[in-house]
Each structure stands twice: as C-alpha cells, then as structure tokens.
Amino acid sequence: MELQEKFRVAANAVSRAEAIVVTAGAGMGVDSGLPDFRGDAGFWKAYPPYQKLGITFIGAANPDHFERDPAFGWGFYGHRTNLYRNTVPHAGFGILRGWIERFGLDYFVVTSNVDGQFQKAGFVEDRILEVHGSIHHLQCAKPCTMAIWENRETIPVDEATMRAGRIPRCIRCGDVARPNILMFGDYGWVSDRSARQQRVFDEFLTENRGRRLVVVEMGAGTAIPTIRYLTEEIGSRPGALAVRINPREAQIRAPHLSLPCGAREGVAAIDAVLAEDALS
C-alpha cells in the first residue's frame, strides 16, 4: 500500500472510531525539540558534560546517585525537569485532541515518557497512563513512605558540571527526594501512581470492549518494546486498528498500518485527509 493510501485508511478509521488509544514513546517528543537519548552518541550530544565524565544514559538514570551524591543525581533530573517545563508540545498533540473533540471519541493516552507533555497539551490527567512515572512528581529516595507529591521545586543546575544547586526534600522524613520515575536497576520506585492510572486504563478497555477502536502509536522504539506490545495487543481486539508512526521502525503486520514518518508529520498527514473529506 502506498503511503498516501495508508493515510487515507488511517483517516477513515479515525473518523469511524468510537474510541482512540494514543500510545507514545521517546520519539513523540523529538518534534517538540526534546532529545530522545538514542544510543550513547545521542545522549552525549544532548549532554556533553556527561561525555567528559564517561557517563551514559543508563549510568545517569540511576537511583544510587540520590543516595551517594544527590547534587549529581538532581543535576540530570533537575535539568530535564526544567527542560520539560519549558517545552511547548508540538502541533501533533493538538491535532490528536482535535480528533477526540470532533468525532466525540472516548480516549486514553499511554506513554513511556516521563515528561508530562500530554498534560501540558491539555489531555486530561485521569485519561493518561504514564508507565514509567512522571518527572513532575516526587517521592522519598529511601523511600520512607509510599507518598507521591507534585514537584513544585525550583532546581537550578550548573550546566558545566551538571550539579544541582538545590536538593528537593522528602515531605515526611526531610531526607533526599527523587523523581517518581522508574530508573535503571531501580528497586525503590513507588509505583502506586502508575498502578492507579493502569487500573483506570483497564476500566477504559473494559468499557470499550467490542467498540470501534483506533490505536495511534508514535515514536515507540524496539529497544524497550513495552509500548509497541501494548499497541499490538489492543490492535488485535475485534473492531480495532493500529497505526504505527515511526520514522525508523514502523514495521507492523497487516491489516495494521505502518507509517514511516515522524509523529507530527504522520498525524498532520492523516489530518489533511480528514480536512479534505470534510470539504467534499
């Protein structure tokens, strides 16, 4: 099938759908100007100081830093917190919201990103599952409590050393707090918030059983394939169609649609077909 024909089939599925599941991986943020930490080279391009220190993404995204050297741990996460706070979600987010409104779709967002960009783009908090947690929420680093609270801290970071000038503290014990994110080799992540979101998502899937469902996946790579599996699993339900938008790894088996393009480009192309149909 030619690409333009696939956009047409996807547009038809969206316009006929009763519900949409939006699934997203790191590639979703690229069009908003966010780094996706693809390989060591990609990570060091985004964070040159770590290259000098010989630290990879896996090395930086390690919960041990909060115990051994919290200013270093918060250097990485504080910098990212500030970056995500200052990022404007790209036009693709608004296009997806437009479909939800225009076609009266029930919806759910499932993302492996911790950047809070769907909330920022106006998606409702209780329609989002953040499978790896959120950088905009904190927990105790020990943890002394299962409490999870919103990150309202200002965290200045020296970009030459990647060290934080301020360390967020636990609301209960006063010791170091950390982002409520699943890191590498992480046994201290408090998963309660993501687990609660998962239960709401399961209810959504139950309520929408047998209904016409479209799954639109963007920027979910094969390295950590959780999101891709989920897309395929939901896509295999009766009445469902999955659309995989990915510039490098778009492959998915028929009848599902493989769109080898960026997130913004892919949804914009589907939207262009919908706009033409509305005019004709």
Question: Would you state the structure tokens that stand for residue 157, as one six-digit string?
Answer: 């970071």
**38 binds Zn ion per the rule CB under 5 A:** no
How far apart are the C-alpha atoms of 266 and 247, rounded to whole Å? Answer: 9
Of 38, 85, 97, 172, the one binding Zn ion by CB under 5 A: 172
Integer angstrom CA distances of residue 95 from 14, 152, 176, 216, 271: 12, 29, 40, 12, 7
Q: What angle, rounded to 10 degrees, do the helices at 263-279 and 3-16 form?
A: 70
Give the count of residues interacting with Zn ion (CB under 5 A).
Answer: 5
**Computed from CA positions of residues 253, 206, 190, 110, in that sequence, does the dihedral angle turn out positive or negative?**
positive
Options 105, 140, 148, 220; binder of Zn ion; rule CB under 5 A: 140
Q: Is 147 in the site for Zn ion (CB under 5 A)?
A: no
Does 170 engage in binding with Zn ion (CB under 5 A)?
yes
Least distance (Å) between residue 124 CB and Zn ion: 30
Known catalytic residues? 132
Per CB under 5 A, does 120 bind Zn ion? no
Task: Candidates 85-93, 163-171, 193-201, 226-234: pick the segment binding Zn ion (CB under 5 A).
Answer: 163-171
Q: In this chain, which stretch among 12-20, 23-31, 57-65, 162-170 interacts with Zn ion, using CB under 5 A?
A: 162-170
Q: Does 144 bind Zn ion (CB under 5 A)?
A: yes
Instruction: By CB under 5 A, name the binding residues for Zn ion.
Output: 140, 144, 170, 172-173
